[in-house]
Each structure stands twice: as C-alpha cells, then as structure tokens.
Amino acid sequence: MSKLKILFVLYPGVTHLDFTGPHQVLSRAPDSETVVASMGGQDIEAEGLTFTNLADLSKVDRCDVICVPGGFGTTAAMLDEAFMAEVRRLGAGATYQTSVCTGSLILAAAGFLKGKKAACHWAWRSMLEPFGAIVSDERVARDGNVITGGGVTAGIDFAFVMLEELAGRDYAEAVQLGLEYAPAPPFNSGRPELARPEVLAQVKARMAASADSRAEAAMLAAERA
C-alpha cells in the first residue's frame, strides 16, 4: 500500500511560515510522504529564505492532501494558467483540498471553493466572495474535504486539525506536546478586533498598496473559473 502523500505547492512570493509551520507538523504524520513542489522544480525565494531541491509540480502524479500556502505572490499565481492547471489537476484527485492564508484564493480560483465555507487572512477574505465561497472568519474552517486556515500562523492550527483527521487525536496531541505548541503571545494583537485602533490602521495602510491589484486579479480569476 502506498504512503499517504501530502503536497505543499509553492510559487514565487509565498509566505514561508504559511507552509513551514504546517510542514513541520504534517511531516510527522505516520506512513506519509511530504512533498514540496514548484513549477519546474524552481527554487523559491521567500522573504530572504531560498527553498531548493523542490519537486517539479508538473511531474507530481498524485497526492492525498494538497496544501496551498498564501503570500503576496498569490496575486500573480491566480492568473498563471500553467500553474493553476497543475493545482486543478492535483486538487481534483486529492482527498483533501487545503490552504493557509491567501492560499484559499488559489483554491477558489481552481474551482474548489464554490459553495464551500473557507477561511483566509482577515485583510483579504472578502476576495473569496466573487468565487462563490462562503467566507469564514474562523481560524480554521472545515467544509467536508476542504480545510482552510486563516492568516499565516493559523496554518499551525490548521495542521493539527489535519493531523487529527489523518492519524487521530491522541497522535496529534502527542505531536503537539513534542513540538511544545502552547501559544502564549506577548501581545493581544493578533486579530483586527483585538488590536489597538492605531495598530490596525497602520497595518491596513501598509496593505492598501497591494489591495487594488489583488482585488482585480481575484475578479479576473473568478471570471476564468
């Protein structure tokens, strides 16, 4: 019997914690193989880190779990027809279609989220609407075989939900203990409803520069989908 295959799909401009967090957890799933792939197996630079020795996405024959992380590169990735064709191919054959952060926009552009509840980073979740997704503000949203995490660090929570699904709660809790995952952030500022108004305004201003181009890309990708 073949091993469970967990596939992380990378592209230029990905946020590395979107996939390295879940990768750390899911690479410990029993009887599994974790594959990280990009188009042509190209190296992927992500915020100063370069990921190399990647599989060629077009040569990955199948997967049981496809996970698409997010990042500012999502905008271009949604409109890359060759990349999206591979996401559709592999996602269609997967048991679970999953994402972290704005990776859900890519899942949506691939046609997997129509009528499905899905999470996304708080700043971009409204962009799921043109794809017919049901927008969720949950840290981890599940709708059947679609499991999506919210922004960046929510990917770790997503990974434990996924690990429980694959290996059971006892196993997932044991991995959680082994990784000492007991978050206790020094600031209570991790969600817009919790952040101080001046902090929220600062972050919104920083993201505003890319908002229009991403919204345009989402609308175009939705039309294609």
Active-site residue list: 101
Backbone angles phi, psi at 46, to 5 degrees: -140, 100
Instruction: Report residue 171 CA to chain centroid gap.
Output: 23
Write out the two tokens for 207: 């993201």
Nearest of 26, 4, 32, 64 to residue 160 by alpha carbon: 26
Pair 162, 147: CB distance under 8 Å: yes
Pair 106, 99: CB distance under 8 Å: yes
Distance CA 197, CA 71 (A): 24
Write out the two tokens for 39: 């188009």
Q: How far is the CA of 174 from the CAs of 39, 65, 169, in angstroms? A: 35, 21, 8
Q: Which residue has the tokens 């967990």?
A: 6
- Work out the burial of residue 192: count CB atoms within 10 Å of its CB; fewer than 13 is exposed, 13-18 middle, 19 or more buried: middle
